[in-house]
């Protein structure tokens, strides 16, 4: 493992009210306080929650089928790596082995996490990406540690397009408030707006 990789753990899933039909996947630094909120689709959210809750679907989901197929071919997943962040979108690689050679498969981060849970393999993120996208938490609440299902957020954040009207100082205050309320999808949207502005500087 490279020295610039940081291991993550899956905290849970919450409804995204910034995007209809989407959810926020919350990953956390294993030995730290930073969180990485990632907006994902409903199907991927379901696939992740089913594994987090140790539920058995009546028929194999796509990620279960992938695991069965891979194992039948003598292939296993060693680790997942979140290796790129472009315009607010996270990109990942699935590191596989057939016992003799290792190879990498490009993947959406949601699919990569769903597979990591099924193969019980570690999830890593490039330290530079965590520095850029991570949200520092002052403390981890007991409720967050127990969160693993689809939990709706009580407050509805404004649409992402509306963040362009706020000043940098206002965005910082809004980010602090969103984190205090554990409204991670809003925090992610504000963080993305701040990152876009930084890229234009």
Each residue's pLDDT expressed in tens, for the chain with a length of 201 residues: 566 999 999 998 887 666 666 888 999 999 888 999 999 988 888 889 889 888 777 788 899 999 999 999 999 999 999 999 998 899 999 999 999 999 999 999 999 999 999 999 999 999 999 999 998 865 444 344 344 344 433 333 444 457 888 888 888 888 888 777 756 567 777 877 887 787 776
DSSP string, 104-141: EEEEEHHHHHHHHHHHT--EEEEHHHHHHH-EE-S---
CATH code of domain 5-153? 3.10.690.10
The pTM score is: 0.70
Task: Decide if 18 contacts 186 (C-beta within 8 A).
Answer: yes
């Amino acid at each position: 493992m490279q020295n610039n990789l940081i291991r993550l753990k899956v905290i849970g899933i919450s409804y995204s009210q910034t995007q209809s039909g989407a959810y926020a996947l919350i990953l956390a630094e294993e030995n730290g306080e930073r969180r990485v909120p990632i907006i994902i689709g409903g199907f991927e959210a379901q696939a992740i929650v089913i594994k987090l809750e140790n539920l058995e679907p009546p028929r194999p989901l796509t990620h279960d089928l992938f695991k069965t197929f891979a194992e039948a071919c003598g292939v296993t997943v060693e680790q997942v790596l979140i290796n790129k962040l472009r315009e607010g979108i996270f990109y990942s690689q699935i590191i596989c082995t057939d016992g003799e050679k290792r190879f990498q498969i490009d993947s959406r981060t949601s699919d990569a996490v769903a597979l990591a849970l099924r193969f019980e393999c570690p999830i890593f993120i490039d330290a530079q990406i965590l520095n850029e996208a991570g949200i520092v938490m002052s403390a981890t609440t007991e409720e967050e540690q127990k969160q693993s299902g689809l939990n709706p957020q009580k407050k509805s954040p404004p649409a992402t397009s509306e963040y362009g009207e706020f000043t940098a100082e206002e965005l910082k205050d809004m980010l602090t408030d969103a984190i205090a309320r554990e409204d991670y999808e809003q925090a992610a949207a504000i963080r993305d707006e701040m990152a876009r502005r930084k890229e234009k500087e």
